[in-house]
Amino acid sequence: MENLHMCPKFEAAFELLGKRWTGLIIRSLLDGAKRFSDMQAIIPNLSARMLTERFKELEEKGIITRKVYPEMPVRIEYELTEKGKDLKKSMDQIQVWAEKWSNS
């Protein structure tokens, strides 16, 4: 089993993306940087507390960055890093699978 040693990284990736809202947050950010209030408008069922938590996790994993623009009032935007953008193919692939087999 040549892949045995890859397992933890692989599982960590799936575990992260399997968390509620994470996939949808990443999908939304694939359109471009968003402010906190933009995300709340896009995903109305997602509470501010949960969104804060998810943003923090994704930042820690290097998937998003938080940019502070020193304007008045201060503008804060969240955007995908290169690592984050690179998840698109994997997410598309899983989505195809999930759609295809959803009734079985």
Q: Which residues bind its own copies (CB under 8 A)?
A: 1, 3-4, 6-7, 9-20, 22-24, 27-28, 42-43, 62, 83, 86-87, 89-91, 93-102, 104
For residue 97, how many C-alpha atoms fall within 13 Å in the half-sphere facing its CB?
6
Q: CB of 55 within 8 A of CB of 64?
A: yes
In the block, residue with structure tokens 């295809």 = 100
Identify which of residues 7 and 48 has a Cβ nearer to its own copies in the complex: 7
Residue 74 Cβ vs its own copies, minimum distance, rounded to whole Å: 27
Measured distance CA(9)–CA(95) in Å, rounded: 21
Find the shortest distance in angstroms from Cβ 5 to its own copies: 10
